[in-house]
Structure 1
Amino acid sequence: MPPRTRYARSGDLAIAYQVVDGDGPDLVLVPGFVSHLDWGWQEPTLRRFLERLSGFSRLILFDKRGTGLSDPVAGSATLEERVDDLTAVLDAVGSQEAALLGVSEGGAMAMLFAAQHPDRTKALVLYGASPRLTAAPGYPHGADEAGMMRLLNGLVERWGEGVALSAWAPSRADDPGLRAWWAGLQRMGASPGMARRLFAVYPIADVRGILAAIHVPTLVLQRRGDHLLRPEIGRYLAAHIPDAGFVELEGEDHLFFVGDTDQLLAEIQEFLTGCRPAPSAAERVLATVLFVDVVGSTALAARVGDAAWASMRARLLAAARRELARHSGREIDVAGDGLFATFTGPARAIRCAVGIHEAARGLGLSLRAGVHAGEVERVDGGVSGLAVHIGARVMAEAAPGEVLVTGTVKDLVIGSGLDFAERGVRALPGVPGTWPVYAVAD
C-alpha cells in the first residue's frame, strides 16, 4: 500500500505529500511535469526506485499545485509559488534541512529553492534537468521551440491515451503495462486543460540567471542518449553552478526509474551519504515461482482502449496482491500484462494461482499460470536462475484458464488435497531435457 497521504497548507491551497521513513538524511523528490502520489506506487519499477531511495534517506514526496492529489489551480503556477509549496511541505514534515532531487521539469524548482534557501538545502541532485528547455540566444543546447511545442500539443490532444512514451522511455515503448500506467498518470496527474497550461510556460521557463547563486553541494546527472535532453544541457548546468559535479550515465530513457537505475541510485547515495552501495552477494535458496499472464491482452487493449485496459489491469493487480498477501507470496514483477511471484511452499503458490484465476474470471479476463519449484538466486530484490526460466516456460505452455505445474511441484504437494490432470511431457524452449507437466484440477 502507498504511504499515507497528508496535506500541507500553502496559502489557500492544500499540497499533498507522503513520507517514507528510512535511515538517512531528509530527501525531497521534486517531480517532473505531472505526478500522482498514489498512482506512482502502482508502477513496479517506480515503486522499487522509491523504496531504494528510502533505504538511505527519509523520503518526502509531493504533488505540485494543480497536479495529482494537490489542489487544482486556475492558471499556471509560477516557480516562486511552487517554492512556497515546497517550503510548506518541509514545514509540515518538520524538516529543517533536506536534500533535493530535482527530476526533469522539477529541476528548475529545486534550483530556485536551493538558491533562495541555502540554509534549508543540504544538497542538490539534478537528474534530466535543464535551466531552460528550448534554445535561446547564448544557449544553443535547448530543443527547437517549434518542434517542442508540436510534441507537447500532440501530447495534450491525446492526453490520457499513453502517447509519447517513446520519447520519455524508449527502452520500454512497447511495454503495454507501462503504457497503460503512463496513460493513467496523464489522466490522474492533470486534466487536459491543466496540462495545456503547464506546457504553455514549460518550454520558456528560464532559471539560467540564478545558477551562479546556488551555493550548496550539487550533483548533475544526465543520461547520454536521453531523447528529450541533450547531454550538453547537463554539462551546461555543471559548468554554471559553482563547484557542481557532473556524471554522464549510459542509457536513453528520460524517466528516471526506467532503464539501468543501479548506477543512478549509486551516484545519488554516494553523494548524499558518502557511501556507495556494495555489490550485493547472491543468495541461493529453494523457492516456488509463479508466473501469471493475461491471455490475449494486446488484442483486448486494442479493442477496449488504453483507459479501459488500464482500469481492468489495475483491478486485476489489486486482486492478485490480495491473494499474494493471503498465501504469503512475494511479488517480484508485474511488468506488462503478467505477474511473477515467489513462495516458500508450492501448495501456497498453486492456491494463490487458483485465487487469481477466479478473480480474473470475475473481471471477464482469462489467464494462464505456471508453477515450478527449484533453486533460485536472490540479489537486490530480484530473483534469477534456471528455475525462473522453467516457470516462465511452463506458463507459456498452459492453456487459457489453466494452472500448469511441473512434476517437481506435483511430487512436493502430495497429501495437500490438490488434484492434477496429466498434460504429457514437454520440451521447454531454452531449457535442457523434457519435463512432465500437470494441470491443476478444478
Structure 2
Amino acid sequence: MSPKTQYTRSGDLHIAYQVVGEGPLDLVYVPGWVSHVELAWEEPTLARFLQRLASFSRLIMFDKRGTGLSDRVPNDRLPTLEERMDDLRAVMDAAGSQRAAVFGFSEGGNLSATFAATYPKRTTALIMFGTFAKRIWSSDYPWAPKPKDREREYEIIEREWGDMMDLGQYVPSKISDEPFLRRLATYFRRSASPGAAVALLRMNTQIDIRSVLPTIHVPALIIHRTGDRDAHVEEGRWIAKQIPNARFAELPGEDHLPWVGDSDSVLDEIQEFLTGVRPSHQSDRILSTVLFTDIVASTEHAARLGDRAWRDLLDSHHALVRKELARWRGREIKTVGDAFIVTFDGPARAVRCACSIRDAVSQLGIEIRAGLHSGEIELAGDDIGGIAVHIASRVIAASQPGEVLVSSTVKDLSAGSGIVFHDRGKQVLKGMPDEWQLFAVV
C-alpha cells in the first residue's frame, strides 16, 4: 500500500510529497526527469529501492512542479532551478525537516547540487547518481549530447510518449523484459503529458551547474555506473573532481535508473556514506516461500480474443495480482508472459495471497493456478535462484485449474494459521528426486 500523499504550498502551486520511515536521519529523494509519488510504489523494483532507503532514514519524497501529482505548469513557463529549490524547501518545511541529506539522480542531481551549495545549513550531505553538469556538448564538456541529438530525442519522445519509446538507453538490462518496459512506459505517461515531457527535456538541455560545483562544501558522494548510456561515466568522474573533498564511487552496470540492475550496490554506498555502516551481505541465501501463478488456458484465451484484447486482459490481470501482492506483502520477482513469480517471508501470507489472487481474477472470466514451496533461495540482485524455486515451479505444474497447491513444507510451516489443506497424495515432480507430498488449499 502506498504511503499517504500530502500537499504543501510553494508560491501559488501545490507540491505533492510523502514521508516514509522513522530512521535517525532525514533523506530527501529528488527524482530525475519525471516522477509520480504514488505510482512509484506500484513498480516492484522502485518500491523495493525506496523501502530500503526508508529502512535507515526518514525518507521524504516529492513530485517536482509540473510532474506527477504536483500542480501542472504551462509548457512555455517551466520552472527554474531556483523555483524548484523553493519547492524542495517547502517540502522540507512541511515535513518538519530542518536539515537533511539530499539524494538526486539524473536531472534531480542538478537540483540537489544547487540546493546543497545554496543552503548548506539545511543540507547534511549530498548524493548524486548518474548526474550530468551540462546537457549540451561543448569543447570543454565533450560528453554531453550535441544539439541535433537532443532535437532527435525531442521528436521521439513527443511521437512515442507513453509507448515503449527508446527505453534501452535508460534500462538496457531490462530491454528483453516487456512487462517491465510496459510498466515503465506507463509510469512515464502518468507522470507528465507528452508536451510537458518534451518541455522538461528542453529545460534540462539549458542546465549548466559547472560553476556551482566548486562552491559545494557539504560531504558529497558521487555515484556513477561505468556503462551508463544516458550520462557518461566521465561526467561523474569530472563532477567529483570539481566538488571539494567529494567521494566518487564507480559501479559496474549500464542502467541509468538507480533502482534498476544491481540496486543493492547503489544502496550499500548510500547507506554507508550516511550512516557509517555498510550493510552485511554475508549470506545471499534466505528462507522464503516462493509462489508461482499462471492463467489457465492462456494460449486458448489469446487465440480467441486477439492480440489487443488479450493484452488488455493481461494488464487487468496484472493489476489485480499486484493489488493482492501489496496487501499480503509479497515481493514480485518477475513476470513471464501471464505468469508471476513472487516471494514471501511467511508461508501463511503466501497461501492467503494465492487464494485472494484466484478469487480476484475470477471477475475477469479467467482462472489461475498456483504452486507454492518454502525453502532456502539464493538472492541474485533482483532475481532469485536455488532448488526451492525449481520445486515451486514443479508444484504449479501439478496443480489443477483454480487450485492452490502447496508442498508439505508449506503446510507444515502454516500450522496454527487456520488454513485447511486437502491431501493430494504423493506425486513425482519432473526432475526432482523421490516423491513429493502435495496438498490443495480448501
TM over 0.5: yes
When the two chains are superposed, the root-mean-square deviation of aligned CA atoms in Å is: 3.3
For residues 193 and 114 of structure 1, the distance between their equivalents in structure 2, rounded to whole angstroms, comes to: 30
After TM superposition, give the deviation of residue 204 of structure 1 in Å.
2.8
Q: Deviations over 1:110-136 (max 9, x none)?
A: 111111111111111100001112312
Q: Compared with structure 1, are the counterparts of its residues 277 and 194 closer, same or farther at alpha carbon in structure 2 (3 Å cutoff)? A: same
Amino acid at match of 1:314: A
For residues 147 and 402 of structure 2, the distance between their equivalents in structure 1, rounded to whole angstroms, comes to: 51
For residues 134 and 156 of structure 1, the distance between their equivalents in structure 2, rounded to whole angstroms, comes to: 20
The 3-state SS of whatever aligns with 1:37 is coil
The 3-state SS of whatever aligns with 1:29 is strand
Q: Deviations over 1:341-389 (max 9, x none)?
A: 336556x755542331221121244433212244557999997642232
Q: Do the aligned partners of 2:325 and 2:331 also contact (CA within 8 Å) in 1?
A: no
1:426 aligns with 2:429: yes
For residues 158 and 86 of structure 1, the distance between their equivalents in structure 2, rounded to whole angstroms, comes to: 31
Correspondence for 2:116 among 104, 114, 120: 114
Q: Compared with structure 1, are the counterparts of its residues 3 and 244 closer, same or farther at alpha carbon in structure 2 (3 Å cutoff)? A: same
Amino acid at match of 1:244: A
For residues 270 and 413 of structure 1, the distance between their equivalents in structure 2, rounded to whole angstroms, comes to: 37
1:290 aligns with 2:269: no
Q: Do the aligned partners of 2:130 and 2:256 also contact (CA within 8 Å) in 1?
A: yes
Amino acid at match of 2:433: G
Residue in structure 2 matched with residue 327 of structure 1 by the alignment: none
For residues 221 and 359 of structure 1, the distance between their equivalents in structure 2, rounded to whole angstroms, comes to: 42
The 3-state SS of whatever aligns with 2:394 is helix
Q: Deviations over 1:130-150 (max 9, x none)?
A: 111231231111123322332
1:50 aligns with 2:50: yes
For residues 412 and 211 of structure 1, the distance between their equivalents in structure 2, rounded to whole angstroms, comes to: 56
The 3-state SS of whatever aligns with 2:360 is helix
Q: Do the aligned partners of 1:184 and 1:310 also contact (CA within 8 Å) in 2?
A: no
Residue in structure 2 matched with residue 253 of structure 1 by the alignment: 255
For residues 120 and 164 of structure 1, the distance between their equivalents in structure 2, rounded to whole angstroms, comes to: 38
Mapping of 1:32-181 within 5 angstroms?
32-75=32-75, 76-181=78-183
Correspondence for 1:215 among 214, 217, 223: 217
Q: Compared with structure 1, are the counterparts of its residues 126 and 304 closer, same or farther at alpha carbon in structure 2 (3 Å cutoff)? A: farther
Residue in structure 2 matched with residue 26 of structure 1 by the alignment: 26
Between the aligned residues of both structures, percent identity stands at 44
For residues 114 and 314 of structure 1, the distance between their equivalents in structure 2, rounded to whole angstroms, comes to: 39
For residues 255 and 31 of structure 1, the distance between their equivalents in structure 2, rounded to whole angstroms, comes to: 10
For residues 308 and 33 of structure 1, the distance between their equivalents in structure 2, rounded to whole angstroms, comes to: 31
Amino acid at match of 1:263: S
Range moving further from structure 2, 293-302 or 263-272: 293-302
For residues 192 and 173 of structure 2, the distance between their equivalents in structure 1, rounded to whole angstroms, comes to: 25
After TM superposition, give the deviation of residue 317 of structure 1 in Å.
1.6
For residues 151 and 284 of structure 1, the distance between their equivalents in structure 2, rounded to whole angstroms, comes to: 44
Q: Do the aligned partners of 1:183 and 1:306 also contact (CA within 8 Å) in 2?
A: no
Q: Do the aligned partners of 2:317 and 2:361 also contact (CA within 8 Å) in 1?
A: no
Q: Compared with structure 1, are the counterparts of its residues 236 and 179 closer, same or farther at alpha carbon in structure 2 (3 Å cutoff)? A: same
For residues 17 and 198 of structure 2, the distance between their equivalents in structure 1, rounded to whole angstroms, comes to: 24
Residue in structure 2 matched with residue 200 of structure 1 by the alignment: 202
Residue in structure 1 matched with residue 308 of structure 2 by the alignment: 303
Q: Compared with structure 1, are the counterparts of its residues 65 and 396 closer, same or farther at alpha carbon in structure 2 (3 Å cutoff)? A: farther
Q: Do the aligned partners of 2:320 and 2:361 also contact (CA within 8 Å) in 1?
A: no
Amino acid at match of 1:388: V
Residue in structure 1 matched with residue 9 of structure 2 by the alignment: 9
For residues 311 and 210 of structure 2, the distance between their equivalents in structure 1, rounded to whole angstroms, comes to: 39
After TM superposition, give the deviation of residue 418 of structure 1 in Å.
3.9
After TM superposition, give the deviation of residue 434 of structure 1 in Å.
5.0
The 3-state SS of whatever aligns with 1:208 is coil
Q: Do the aligned partners of 2:157 and 2:197 also contact (CA within 8 Å) in 1?
A: no
The 3-state SS of whatever aligns with 2:211 is helix
The 3-state SS of whatever aligns with 2:334 is coil
After TM superposition, give the deviation of residue 45 of structure 1 in Å.
1.5
Q: Compared with structure 1, are the counterparts of its residues 294 and 161 closer, same or farther at alpha carbon in structure 2 (3 Å cutoff)? A: farther
Q: Compared with structure 1, are the counterparts of its residues 272 and 302 closer, same or farther at alpha carbon in structure 2 (3 Å cutoff)? A: farther
Residue in structure 2 matched with residue 368 of structure 1 by the alignment: 369
Amino acid at match of 2:131: A
Q: Do the aligned partners of 1:293 and 1:339 also contact (CA within 8 Å) in 2?
A: no
The 3-state SS of whatever aligns with 2:71 is coil
Q: Do the aligned partners of 2:330 and 2:350 also contact (CA within 8 Å) in 1?
A: no
TM-score under structure 1 length normalisation? 0.86
Q: Do the aligned partners of 1:280 and 1:379 also contact (CA within 8 Å) in 2?
A: no
Q: Do the aligned partners of 1:14 and 1:71 also contact (CA within 8 Å) in 2?
A: yes
Q: Deviations over 1:268-306 (max 9, x none)?
A: 112112222223546765x65322234649968952487
Q: Do the aligned partners of 1:316 and 1:363 also contact (CA within 8 Å) in 2?
A: no
Residue in structure 1 matched with residue 242 of structure 2 by the alignment: 240
Number of residue pairs the alignment of both structures matches: 431
For residues 314 and 157 of structure 1, the distance between their equivalents in structure 2, rounded to whole angstroms, comes to: 26
Residue in structure 1 matched with residue 332 of structure 2 by the alignment: 333
Q: Deviations over 1:383-438 (max 9, x none)?
A: 7642232102333555664444446667999997544667953323xxx4254576
Q: Compared with structure 1, are the counterparts of its residues 42 and 398 closer, same or farther at alpha carbon in structure 2 (3 Å cutoff)? A: same
